[in-house]
């Protein structure tokens, strides 16, 4: 079994592959956040001829295309809260050296050492619901802001209104 850690970013993803002893199986690679990059990762993992578990931080929309691609190619994918990875990093070293390649290795090590990992289930409906819920909350906030503005204007233009209405 191999463990793949992916440090997700806007335009590129850094990838590290380790075995069950924590030893790097191949030199860390960087892939683009496009189909060509995803296919490079897929072909690289196929050449290793071993089952792979893949982990990455849950970074929101930057990872969505990669997650979809990996899911369509039947990989087992695990996502971690970035705060968990940060705490795990602190437990590995006192030094504060941070690079994308080291982050990818740390994520792979977290996956290797985590007996309680939960498999990520990719569901487009869940993502759509998240987007719609956030939009609804923004609309409610705007509505509340407009009510405050409206009341403020009425207080300036017609301060007696409150006494007349109540």
Write the pLDDT tens digit of every residue in 139-161: 999 999 999 999 999 999 998 88
Mean pLDDT on 109-131: 78
12-18 β-sheet, strand order: 29-32, 12-18, 2-8, 52-57, 76-80
Q: Name the pLDDT band for 101 (thresholds 50, 70, 90).
A: confident
What is the pLDDT, as a whole number, of residue 127?
Answer: 75
Most confident range, picked from 55-59, 66-70, 101-105: 66-70
Q: Is the confidence at residue 119, as pLDDT, over 90? A: no
Is the alpha carbon torsion for 125, 130, 131, 132 positive or negative?
positive
Lowest pLDDT segment from 8-12, 15-19, 98-102? 98-102
Give me the helices (H) in 1-123, please.
35-48, 64-72, 82-92, 100-113
Nearest to 14 by CA among 34, 4, 28: 28
- Res 32: pLDDT: 96
């Amino acid at each position: 079994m191999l463990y793949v850690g992916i440090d997700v970013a806007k335009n590129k993803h850094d990838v590290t592959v380790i075995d069950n002893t924590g030893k790097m199986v191949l030199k860390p690679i960087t892939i683009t956040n496009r189909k060509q990059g995803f296919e490079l990762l897929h072909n690289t993992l196929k050449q290793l001829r071993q089952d792979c578990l893949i982990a990455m931080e849950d970074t929101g929309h930057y990872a969505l295309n990669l997650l979809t691609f990996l899911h369509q190619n039947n990989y087992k994918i695990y996502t971690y809260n970035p705060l968990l990875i940060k705490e795990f990093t602190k437990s590995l070293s006192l030094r504060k050296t941070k690079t994308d390649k080291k982050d990818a290795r740390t994520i792979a090590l977290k996956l290797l050492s985590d007996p309680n990992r939960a498999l990520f289930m990719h569901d487009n409906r869940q993502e759509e619901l998240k987007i719609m819920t956030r939009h609804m909350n923004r609309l409610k906030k705007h509505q509340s802001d407009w009510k405050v503005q409206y009341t403020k204007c009425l207080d300036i233009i017609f301060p007696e209104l409150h006494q007349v209405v109540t």
